């Protein structure tokens, strides 16, 4: 089984989720998404796997969210995905991908269903 985590080591939820995965004896592929941003295609695939709208994968409290006026003006899904690809800080974390499924580790226990 291949498990991938979009990880931010500075985020407590991301660290907790990684520890939870590793505590199950799983060695995930760790992608520090702020250093290695996912492509538009990767983000679109994760949004589909999560069965959510792209806006639901966005961190609304980030400065760039406000600067891009994302909550103010209407944007289509492609524009939202492009914004996350260009500004990965907008991506909610952590995202775990396993077994053709994805889960958002908020709370970390959310990922247990896909492992």
- Give the per-residue SS3 of 30-67: EEECCCCCCCHHHHHHHHHHHCCCHHHHECCCCHHHHH
What is the domain extent for residue 52? 3-114
d(CA 92, CA 89): 8
Element (H or E) spanning 18, and its range? helix 12-23
Check which CATH number belongs to the domain holding 29 and give it: 3.40.30.10
Q: What is the mean pLDDT of residues 84-109?
A: 97
Residue 74 pLDDT > 90: no
Q: Is 11 a catalytic residue?
A: yes
Catalytic-labelled residue, pool 3, 7, 10, 11 = 11
Instruction: Please tell me the total count of domains within the chain.
Output: 1
Q: Which of 56, 81, 82, 60 is nearest to 70 (CA)?
A: 60
Mean pLDDT of the chain: 96
Q: What is the mean pLDDT of residues 50-58?
A: 97
To the nearest whole percent, how much of the chain has pLDDT over 70?
100
Q: What is the pTM of this model?
A: 0.94
């Amino acid at each position: 089984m291949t498990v991938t985590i979009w990880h931010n080591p500075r985020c407590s939820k991301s660290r907790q989720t990684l520890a939870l995965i590793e505590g199950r004896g799983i060695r995930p592929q760790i992608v520090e998404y702020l250093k290695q941003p996912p492509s538009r295609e990767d983000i679109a695939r994760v949004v589909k796997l999560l069965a959510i709208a792209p806006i639901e994968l966005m961190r609304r409290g980030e400065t760039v969210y406000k600067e891009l006026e994302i909550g103010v003006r209407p944007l289509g899904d492609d524009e939202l995905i492009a914004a996350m690809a260009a500004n990965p800080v907008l991506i909610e974390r952590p995202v775990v991908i396993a077994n053709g499924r994805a889960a958002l580790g908020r709370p970390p226990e959310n990922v247990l269903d896909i492992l």
